[in-house]
Amino acid sequence: MTENTETKKEIKILAIESSCDETAAAVVVNGRDLRSNVISSQIALHTLYGGVVPEIASRKHIEKINQVIEQALSDAQMTLDDIDAIGVTYGPGLVGALLVGVAEAKAIAYARNIPLVGVHHIEGHISANYIENKDLEPPFLALVVSGGHTHLVRVVDYGKYEILGRTRDDAAGEAFDKVARAIGLGYPGGPKIEKVSHEGDPHSIEFPRAKIVGGVYDFSFSGLKSAVLNYLNGCRMKGLEINQADVAASFQQAVTDVLVGHAENAIDEFKMDKFAIAGGVASNGVIRHAMEEMCARKGVKFYRPSPILCTDNAAMIGAAAYYDFIAGKRSGLDLNAVPNLKLGDCFRLHRGANIMCRFIMDRKIKEYG
């Protein structure tokens, strides 16, 4: 920690997130004080195609990135002159989408001589809990469930994580999307399955709850997805009526049981008294309620972000960037998009992306210089 960081009362982070289909910017002060949070969502556009189209997502990010940054600064009543550091997601995610945010952040950092901090997307999701829960401090247990990730993590300290388990195949959110498509609900699957499941019986169909040999905290949802598809195919072959609500509710219950079971076992083994959830799927009301009940039963304090902070957003990136910043972490202008970045990996380069990143950055420097 530098002398300037120690003595300065307020550290203002301009954060940028563009890992998938949301273009977002936020201003976060001291990691927990959210001054602005602007999100430009592409869900309506990608719904036309039944899922995220990477090329379209990248083009939309380029179109919207300047607008969301300008709006975030305006909402926070600040300018770039007030900003102490730029935080940006550099992985994991869609490489083209990540490049837009990384290039933008590097251009601002270079043109305005502002420190740059690359942030891991999953670390951002975990850090979303700091914004609304001022009392939350490590160590605690965290479950990140989203469209691309399912991680059970022990947060040892700010920026220090021990991964207890992760998905071996489909992430929970990915399974929601695929099952929703199979039963005719379309994209995005998570909210649509949750909505229709209220009309169904979660115990009407017994779908499997996968257990991984040699990975007690690892997840697998591809078998569950296949079981749903086999059930649907079996009904069609036999001419049986498919109750969409029952299928949705039973599938959702199977996912919930696995997530709660893994979390409960980890709480017991590691003697944790604080548990947090994060990620897009963490906004699911059934899952949130089940986790809250489990924690109450075990006397564990339960933390969860508001739904707006569960989806991809820049506020969470600003929170994570702040703790990295005060720990002395800085990224150079060689920071690049790393689409398959693992939690805990440092700032690696992805050579295939570097050329495109430099091209975008050169254009942006002219705008901010």
Say yes or no: 37 and 11 in one domain: yes
Considering the domain architecture, whether residues 110 and 166 belong to the same structural domain is answered as no
100 and 183 co-located in one domain: no
Q: Are 22 and 87 found together in one domain?
A: yes
Of 281, 306, 331, the residue that ends a domain is: 306
Same domain, 258 and 363: no
Q: Are residues 55 and 82 in the same domain?
A: yes
3-state secondary structure of 89: strand
Please name the amino acid found at residue 12. Answer: K
Would you say residue 131 lies in a domain? no
Domain end, chosen from 257, 290, 306, is at: 306
- Same-domain check for residues 177 and 264: yes
What are φ and ψ of residue 51, in 5° steps?
A: 165, 175
Sign of CA dihedral 185, 191, 194, 198: negative
Domain co-membership, 187 together with 288: yes
Residue 202 lies in a domain: yes
Given 288, 306, 324, the domain boundary residue is 306
Task: Note whether 286 and 143 are same-domain residues.
Answer: yes
Looking at the fold, whether 300 and 316 belong to one and the same domain comes out as: no
| Antiparallel, parallel or unpaired: β 274-278 and 301-303 | parallel
Residue 159 shares a structural domain with residue 231: yes
Domain coverage including residue 185 = 138-306
| Inside any domain, residue 273 | yes
Q: Which structure tokens are listed for 329? A: 């972490």
Tell me how long the chain is.
Answer: 369
Can you give the pLDDT of all 369 residues of the chain as single tens digits? 444 444 468 999 999 999 999 999 999 999 999 999 999 999 999 998 888 999 999 999 999 999 999 999 999 999 999 999 999 999 999 999 999 999 999 999 999 999 999 999 999 999 999 999 999 999 999 999 998 899 999 999 999 999 999 999 999 999 999 999 999 999 999 999 999 999 999 999 999 999 888 899 999 999 999 999 999 999 999 999 999 999 999 999 999 999 999 999 999 999 999 999 999 999 999 999 999 999 999 999 999 999 999 999 999 999 999 999 999 999 999 999 999 999 865 433 333 444 444 555 555 555 665
Query: What strands, in cross-sheet order, belong to the sheet with 85-91?
Result: 33-41, 22-29, 12-17, 85-91, 116-120
Task: Say which CATH number the domain at 118 has.
Answer: 3.30.420.40
Mark whether 48 and 144 lie in a shared domain: no
**What is the number of structural domains in the chain?**
2
- Please report whether residue 132 resides in a domain: no
- Residue 302: its H or E element: strand 301-303
